[in-house]
Structure 1
Amino acid sequence: MRRLFGSVRARATVGATLVVALALVAAGAAVLLSLRSSLVDQADTQAESAARKVAAQLAADVSYADLDLPDGEDNPVQVVNEKGRLVAASDDLERVTGTGVGDVRPDPGPRAPAPSAKPTGKPTGSPTEKPAPTDTGDDADDSDDKDDESEKSDQQEAAEDRKEAAEDAAEDAAGDGDSSLEPGDISDKTRSSEGSARVDGETQDYRFAAVRVDTGSKGELTVHAGAPLTAEQSAVTTALTAMLIGFPVLLAVIAGVTWLVTRRALGPVDAIRAEMAAITASEDLARRVPEPDTHDEIARLARTTNETLAALQTSVERQRRFVADASHELRSPIASLRTQLEVGAAHPELLDVPGAVQDTVRLQELAADLLLLARLDAGEKPGRGRVDLAALAREELSQRTGDRVAVTTDLESVEVAGSRGQLARVLGNLVTNAQRHTRSRVTVTTRTDGAWAVLEVADDGDGVPPEERERIFERFVRLDDARSRDEGGAGLGLAIARDVATRHDGTLTVDESPDGGAQFTLRLPRATDDTRAP
């Protein structure tokens, strides 16, 4: 179960189904309530119409016996006087609740008091009176007691119903705006209630409408007329049954469609995952994940993944080439140094000490360059101290006592933010490269160019052909005239200089100098006021 819901497809399907289910339940409840309210309003209208038709007859002073009452099954009717007594009712009405009057048979006159079961006084001595016969049997006594209790119960129930009807009529009169009706007037107000009635042995629920009418001769009467709720109950039941059957089917369809659509949408993701797993297993970075022919997020993910793989492949190939070139470059000075030491051990008089020292220095410089490149590749960020390029140039040039050509300078004080040691390495590499190719002159210049600080190193040598001006910044690349290992370096100086410039948010380019040679231009952002001092 946990694995199943760990799938995006499963979670999307469950989420969509739950949302639709909640929406359907809310919509279904609203429909049922609206349907019931509408049908109840129709029943209220029907009941009010029936009550007003009877009230119109009473207002016309039609006698109770001549009232044209509607069919009791469709519209059971009760007419109640001011004292709460039932004066007219539908013929087939057997039982009713919800109107406040429980009587179903008219009783227009006052009820006589119930006869007493036993005489309450002693005989007066009249000769015509005889003592009542006395029945000493237990059954007779019990029968009389039951009759008395039944009659008393009926009287009490009728009295309570009449009292309740009278209270309802009083409340209606108090609540109506037309409490003082004139003879022949029918109240504009209608009181609605809900109850049940048994007509011809069949019990149904009804909505009752109560309308007051002043008949003049008969006093003020209240007409109760009902309208059956059978249509409302049937419609609500049918709608509820349809929802109980249709909603699960609809939810199943929605879940199935969501599952299929999500599966189709996530198909490219599975393909990307499978290809990435294959690339990881084979370590073949030349492979690429499939890109779907769409313009959605998954297509962009595939393109980004391929771009990442391409960058990773380039980085790995560059690293492999770097290791191979480094091994090749290290092999020569190490082999030369070993040969000289072996010869010196066998024949001390043949030991070339200056050559051994030179090979050792080259080996040390190469190791330092490789270490710096490794740190740059690892993403080491330069310091953010303030460095004056003019002061840096004076200090570095003053230490170069073995240069074959004197260096001329034109220095303007300009500060940049960065690592003093790395920038000194850039200047040293550029000057060394110029000394290797120049004929008679090397010039170092610092100046300001807007928001940029510029350091230029120019010579009067043969220069760099335009088609080679980018290639010389690659690692272990030397031009044909610099292939001699005795004269040239390992081909890392310019690569290190550009990497340092890039990590200082600057650029390093090469163009033709005014003297016809090469001119290397280092451009760095000028230091701002918030740059901390080194």
Structure 2
Amino acid sequence: MRRTFGSVRSRATLGATLVVAVALVAAGAAVLLSLRSNLMEQAGNEAQRTAQNVVAQLAAGKAYDQLDLDDESPVQVVDDNGTLVAASDELERISGTATDAVKPQPQSGGTGTGAGTGDDDDDADDSGRGEAGEIGEGTEFGDGSATIDGESADYRFAAVPVEAGDRGRLTVYAGGSLDAEQSAVNTALTVMLIGFPLLLGVVAGVTWLVTRRALRPVEGIRGEMAAITASEDLARRVPVPGTHDEVARLALTTNETLAALQTSVERQRRFVADASHELRSPIASLRTQLEVGVAHPELLDLDGAVEDTVRLQSLAADLLLLARLDAGERPGDARFDLGALAREQAEGRVEVTVEARSAQVAGSRGQVGRVLTNLLDNAARHARSAVTLTVRPEGEWVVAAVADDGAGVAEADRERIFERFVRLDEARSRDDGGAGLGLAIARDVAVRHGGTLTVGRAPAGGALFELRLPQAQ
């Protein structure tokens, strides 16, 4: 059992840790992607600003060799034919742009590097200078790498087109360093790789402790139940924690179950003891008469032996029916006319007046007939001269009432008479053969049919028993 609780703690801890791990991985991935996206965007904006600065110079007609290029960032100026016409001075290697060239190509017509071929100073001054142009639209971005002054790094490149007058369409490539992005992502990733396992360890530890504390009352309940099972002492109860949660409700329900079980066991013990006591008398009487008959046949009381046998048979039948009722035997759902059944049970009883209307009920016809028989027998034993049996529909119910003109039942005893083996008049009931089971059987049958059986005062002053059963739909 301890392994079971341990496995519960293990499963709860593992489940909580897995859920947190998945959440952390998802959140970490989202953070890294967002961080990388923001830093890439910043590098792209930096590259675009550098490129637009060069584009503005080219649009103003500035010569290639006079361009103010950022020496700390890779910059290329490429013409419409893909020829490099200008580049950063310290650029040693580049990839990710339109060309891998790092040295500008000489331009014919005196519009390239500014190295003029004529002797005229004016020609020298105008070499490499073009007419003013305009900035094109449609910046494009890409990733690559470059080596500047011996240092290699990754860059985000921006490609900005420009119409440079007589020099045609040019494209300026400028790079924004990704060192900050890589450094930030690596730092965040390192923090996550170190922090996430620690956080998962904390979650697992806290879950283990919390689950252990939550299950501690359950272990107390289990231990007490094991002790109750070993001692068979149903008077003991499991401890109820003061948490007012599911475990506390479990303990309360367990105690209620124990109380019901204790009541049932005590009732069964009383039933067995009372049944043994009731069976002892007729069996002893019958044995005595038979033994006398064997020794002195002329003294054998056959009538008494038959009477004791019938009494014993009736008691055995009552005990068997009670046992079936206690076992939860279902009454069935057969429909029958309670009025007709009442007339049938009263047939042959001269002291009984029957006023029975037809009314359909559902259940066991035999058990309900037994209830009517027990009520009529009880009324006949206590009536002075008359017994009345009536059956009438009453809303959703059918009421069968048995009234007598006897002394009635005192109000203090009106519930006690339905207990098993209870006789208000011990001497008379034993002489009449009653064991105190008839009314108990009648009440149990009524309850199992969804009805009630109560006793009150009859108009003639005697007892009035009312059996209420649901009317069959």
Normalising by structure 1, we get a TM-score of 0.81
Distance 1:215 1:395, change over 3 A: closer
Q: What letter is aligned with 1:100?
A: A
Partner Cα distance (1:79, 1:43) in 2: 19
Runs of 4+ in 1 over 6 A off after TM superposition: none
Distance in 2, matches of 1:484 and 1:417, equals 33
2:314 to 357, 361, 365: 365
2:176 match: 227
1:276 corresponds, among 225, 230, 239, to 225
- Residues 429 and 435 of structure 2 are in contact (CA less than 8 Å); yes or no, is this contact kept in structure 1? no
* Contact persistence 1:85–1:108 (CA under 8 A): no
Number of the residue aligned with 1:104: 102
Q: Deviations over 1:62-102 (max 9, x none)?
A: 2222222112x3x1111222332222211111111111222
Q: Describe the shift of the 1:251–1:320 C-alpha distance in structure 2 as closer, same or farther (beyond 3 A).
A: same
- Partner letter of residue 387 of structure 2? V
Which digits, 9 at most, give the CA deviation of each residue in 1:470-522, with x for residues without a partner? 00000000113655521351000000111111111111100000011101111
Q: CA deviation at 1:330?
A: 0.5
Which residue in 1 is equivalent to 2:434? Answer: 489
Aligned to 1:284, the other structure's residue is in SS state coil
- Superposed CA deviations along residues 236-284 of structure 1, whole A, max 9, x for unmatched, are 1111111111111111111111111111112211111111111111111
2:446 paired residue number: 501
Greater Cα offset, 517-526 or 353-362:
353-362
Q: Would the alpha carbon gap of residues 103 and 484 (structure 1) be closer, same or farther in structure 2, given more than 3 Å must change?
A: closer
Aligned residue in 2 for 1:157: none
SS in 1 for 2:135: coil
> Cα distance, 1:18 vs. partner?
0.8
Partner residue, 1:201: 150
> Greater shift after overlay, 411-420 or 324-333?
411-420
Moved more, 230-239 or 267-276: 267-276
Amino acid at match of 2:284: A
Residues 82, 98 of structure 2: 8 Å contact kept = no
Whether 1:443 and 2:384 are equivalent positions in the alignment is no
Task: Give, in whole Å, the separation in 2 of the partners of 1:79 and 1:414.
Answer: 108
| Cα displacement (A) at 1:314 | 0.8
The answer as to 2:159 corresponding to 1:218 is no
**Change beyond 3 A, Cα 1:238–1:398:** same
Partner secondary structure for residue 235 of structure 1: helix
Cα displacement (A) at 1:110 = 5.8
- Matches of 2:433 and 2:415, distance apart in 1: 19
Residue by residue over 1:23-59, the C-alpha shift from the partner in whole angstroms, topping out at 9 and shown as x without a partner, is 1111111111111111111111000100111111122
Q: Which residue of 2 aligns with 1:13?
A: 13
Which sits farther off after the overlay, 226-235 or 269-278?
Answer: 269-278
Alignment check: 8 A CA contact 1:61 1:217 kept: no
1:245 pairs with one of 194, 198, 204: 194
State the shift of 1:201 in Å.
0.9
Deviates more, 1:80-89 or 1:17-26: 80-89
Q: 2:356: which partner in 1?
A: 411
Q: Distance in 1 between matches of 2:421 and 2:296?
A: 35
| Greater RCO (CA < 8 Å, at least 6 residues apart) | 1
Q: Per the alignment, do residues 324 and 26 of structure 1 end up closer, same or farther by CA in structure 2, a change over 3 Å counting?
A: same
Structure 2, unmatched stretches of 5+, are 110-130
Structure 1 match to 2:123: none
Map 1:125-524 → 2, pairs under 5 A: 183-400=132-349, 406-480=351-425, 484-487=429-432, 489-524=434-469
Query: Which digits, 9 at most, give the CA deviation of each residue in 1:117-136, with x for residues without a partner?
Result: xxxxxxxxxxxxxxxxxxxx
Q: What are the ranges of 5 or more consecutive residues in structure 1 without an aligned counterpart?
A: 112-181, 529-534
Residues 311 and 433 in structure 2, CA contact (< 8 A), matched pair in contact too = no
Q: Give distance in 1, aligned partners of 2:423 and 2:336.
A: 31
> C-alpha distance in 2, partners of 1:481/1:368?
21
Please name the residue that 2:58 is paired with.
58
Q: Determine the C-alpha separation between the residues in 1 that align with 2:195 and 2:32.
A: 15
**Mapped partners of 1:310, 1:233: distance in 2:** 71
How far apart in 1 are the matches of 2:415 and 2:392? 24
Q: Distance in 1 between matches of 2:93 and 2:139?
A: 23
Taking a change above 3 Å as real, the CA distance of residues 310 and 460 of structure 1, as seen in their structure-2 partners, is same
Whole-angstrom distance in 2 between the partners of 1:214 and 1:408: 124
Residue aligning to 1:163: none
Partner of 2:471: 526
* Residues 254 and 54 (structure 1), Cα distance of their counterparts in 2 relative to 1, 3 Å cut: same
Q: How many Å separate the matches in 2 of 1:329 and 1:471?
A: 19
Considering only aligned residues, what root-mean-square deviation do their CA atoms show, in Å? 1.8
Cα separation, partners in 2 of 1:445 and 1:82, compared to 1, 3 Å: closer
Contact 2:146 2:154 in 1 (8 A): yes
Q: Which residue is equivalent to 1:148?
A: none
| Alpha carbons 2:60, 2:132 under 8 Å: kept | no
Q: Following TM superposition, by how much is the alpha carbon of 1:365 offset from its aligned partner in structure 2, in angstroms? A: 0.7
Letter in 2 for 1:289: V
Mapped to 1, the partners of 2:389 and 2:427 lie a distance apart of 22
CA distance in 2, matches of 1:107, 1:413: 120
Measure, in 1, the Cα distance between the counterparts of 2:463 and 2:427.
14
Q: Deviations over 1:441-486 (max 9, x none)?
A: 1111111111111111111111111110000000000113655521
Summarize the Cα distance change of 1:5–1:307 in structure 2 as closer, same or farther, 3 Å threshold: closer
User: What amino acid is aligned across from residue 205 of structure 1 in structure 2?
Assistant: D
Deviation at 1:183, TM superposition (A): 4.4
Instruction: Find the aligned partners of 1:449 and 1:243 in 2 and give their Cα distance.
Output: 78
Amino acid in structure 1 at the alignment position of 2:272: V
- Structure 1 residues 5 and 44, CA gap change in structure 2 (3 angstroms): farther
Q: Deviations over 1:320-371 (max 9, x none)?
A: 1000000000001111111222222222232222222211111111011111
